[in-house]
Amino acid sequence: MDTMIDIKGLSIDELERFLLGKGKERYRARQIFKWLYQRGATSFAEMTDLAKELRRDLEETARISTLSPEALEISRDGTRKYLFRLDDGCSVESVLIPEEDRNTLCISSQVGCAMACEFCLTGTFRLTRNLTTAEIVNQVCAVQKDVPVRNIVFMGMGEPLANLDNVIRALQIMLHDDGLQFSTRRITVSTAGLVPEMERLGQSVTVNLAVSLNATTDELRDRIMPINRKYPLTVLLDACRRFPLPGRRKITIEYVLLGGVNDTLDDAKRLVRLLSDIPSKINLIPFNEHEGCSFRSPSQDVIDHFHKYLLDKHFTVITRSSRGADISAACGQLKGKLDALKPSGAGKQIEVSDSTNEVT
Ligand code: SAH
């Protein structure tokens, strides 16, 4: 079983090479891709336009992995949180945020995360492992069986740019005409600011980039996002300036508003100065509170003032309303079943299973 290649983990170029290695025609790769990603095939037997001999060969040498949700929680606002159990027992979460005609799926790229941002729940757990290409793509495939997905954001668990090879391959599958057929404007990769990897992402694929800035001074960012000690603000913002985006597209700057920490008028002024020559739109995210973390969300008044200041300076600003809060599906609240990995007694238990509706 172990020697079987997971066909869902191959880009189309890799699948072509795999087939050429068997003495098969290159164009078979496109046929197989369509079966996998457009018709949701789960066995080679279904691929009736492939020669029987090829189907048999594939059955012996390859497998088609899938993910099926172990649990699905549906929020009062329609947000759907999926828990996927992986082959090795780890689990990850994906969140579908419904909006009329433009559902957004927030996917995970790692089990846990090594970034250790002070305000983020996932960051309080260490990195367990990278997700494979197939595990990233299969989150989308699984949810699409339930509901149509219009946008994909890599804003679930993990730092996508710390798992760059698998993320790039997954993006190639998502973007391919014979694959999941997403348009480049409908996929956003979000990073805490891994500068060399931002460069490589930009050279490898065309997608939208979101950068989690969250602070306007190195002093604060060093503290709340340790990655800043490696790539400080000037270096990070330079990388933003260099990031290749087609046409008039803008980089999304994410800014988690932490009450009394980064929400003053001075912060807003510094933010304007830092972004003055970067084509950007600002995504304000009022901090989603979670147990065991002392940060608080600012009052609505403070949020409104911050938002308005940026608007007055002619920035495009969105204050992200918290969705799925009642099922812990809001930004920064994903954790999979990571708490099970911690030594007993350590860490607080946060409810997940109580309101879980098992999928049958
Ligand atoms: N590692 C990537 C993607 C995952 S985090 C990144 O850092 O961008 C996705 C977004 O959620 C980031 O902008 C992060 O700053 C934000 N976030 C994390 N915890 C949060 C919380 N408790 N409340 C609000 N936003 C949070």
Are residues 124 and 17 both part of a single domain? no
Please compute the mean of the pLDDT values over residues 107-120 and round it to a whole number. 96
Q: Which CATH number fits the domain that encloses residue 30?
A: 1.10.150.530
Of the residues 16, 73, 93, 159, only one is catalytic, namely 93
Does any domain span residue 77?
no
Query: Are residues 128 and 215 part of one domain?
Result: yes
Mutate to test the pocket of ligand 1, among 92, 108, 111, 120 (most ligand atoms within 8 A of CB): 120
pLDDT digits (tens, 9 = 90+) for 31-77: 999 999 999 999 999 999 999 999 999 999 999 999 999 999 999 99
Asked if 124 and 260 sit in the same domain, the reply is: yes
Give SS3 for 42: coil
Q: Each residue of 304-327: pLDDT tens digit?
A: 999 999 999 999 999 988 888 888
Q: Which position among 106, 120, 240, 331 bears the catalytic label? A: 331
Question: Two tokens at 67?
Answer: 């993910």
pLDDT (average), residues 254-261:
98
> How many domains does the chain fold into?
2
Q: Is 159 in the pocket of ligand 1 (CB under 6 A)?
A: yes
CA distance 38 to 325: 32
Q: Any residues with CB less than 8 A from the CB of 140 and at least 6 apart, and which? A: 105, 107, 149, 152, 174, 180
For residue 46, what are the domain limits? 5-63
Q: Is the CB of 120 under 6 A from ligand 1?
A: yes
Eight-class DSSP state of 220 = H
Residue closest by Cα to atom 16 of ligand 1: 332
Helix, strand, coil share (%) of the chain residues, nearest 5: 35, 20, 45
183-to-63, 165, 207, 253, 274 alpha-carbon distances in Å: 27, 20, 9, 21, 30
Q: Domain check: are 20 and 115 in the same one? A: no
